[in-house]
Structure 1
Amino acid sequence: MTPIEKLLLENKAWSSEIKGDDPEYFERLSHLQTPEFLWIGCSDSRVPADRITGTQPGEIFVHRNIANLVIHTDVNLLSVLDFAVNHLKVNHVIVCGHYGCGGVKAAMTNHDFKYVLNMWLRNIKDVYRLYTKELDAISDIDKRADRLVELNVKEQVLHLAKTSIIQRAWKNDRRPQLHGWVYGLRDGLIKPIFDMDAGSAIDPLYQYDDL
């Protein structure tokens, strides 16, 4: 049996088990998507949003990329954010990183990862540059990486607040709240790092005055 065949077989077994417990489950789910949360997480396979939060299908809207970045030119991310905020009306947007993030560790090196990855990882290097003094003072490389994970999450939350999508929703609906979390691979626990309520102050340079 190939790995792909195994996945399909597991899917059939999972579907049968669900329908055995609740015959109408999939019919209800097909007509329902009212998530309270948008999750912007890392693509790392060890950090599944639903599993670590105990949420069910339909309860959390998910976007994932390497190192959970919010980049102002990323149309994929912005389209998800727009849909979640303006159509699904989520009340919370969560940026969740994780300790031991390979993308963060890679960005701390001077290694050439070739064209696309270099371009992506540079966004994390920009975060390092903002906090060089604090990070360079941490001699343990693993602890330094963990701190960069936390600071990266904070900066991505701030990037969300700089978008017209969030600022318009804050002005008109007083939502969503923004949250920065870090997940621990070693203990399975989520650590809150940074929060922004609707209408939180940001650098005036990034504020839109004609929304």
Structure 2
Amino acid sequence: MRLILHPGYDNPAHGLWCHDVRPGEEMLENLSRQELVEYAVTFVASCAERAINIASWAAALDGRPYDAAIYVEAVETLWRHDPRDVHVFSARMVQLEEMHEMTVADELTGPPAYGFHSILVLHSGLRAVTELTPENVEDCSLAARNAASYLERLIRSEDCLLSAEELSQHEDIKDLLRGASADRLRDRARQAGRNRMNLFRSRSHLA
């Protein structure tokens, strides 16, 4: 167990006891071996699936339903497209880099600011497939943890979203190395994403 102190809080009483179950470097490196490329793609797709609801919802709320659809389609690319067709993933990366959230970045305000970190998860997932290395898989893992941490701080949640993301990643890797199907992981990631979205909407003044 470890005490998570949310950045910006100066009172240790605001810390939350959460399980420290982040995936280890060795586990992530195992996914990046050439013979396990499909497992690595499933792992980053699962990270993106849990995060993307926030981004697509925020884009739609900002009056950009077409952008919201692009985010959903990019996640679908991670799940369904042959990872050997690197150009498809590269094209999706370029498309994301031209989106409002990515071009404005730190200057975002309103609903788009809520979705920015989720889009970074998707972008890093696409990069990991385009160039499969342990470092790029770890970048996606970290982006997903950062997105959960950001949301947790934003809504002052006591639900330990960061810890939940770490646990999801740990379980995904463990199950993949045991031969679990991508469909099983996607179902679990979708449910986690819906739970996160529902929590956000229940706590956000934008809902």
Q: Would you call these one fold, judging by a TM-score over 0.5?
A: no
What is the TM-score when the length of structure 2 is the normalising length?
0.27
Decide which structure has the larger Cα Rg and report it. Answer: 1
The structure with higher relative contact order (CA 8 Å, sep 6+) is 2
Give the structure with the larger strand fraction.
1
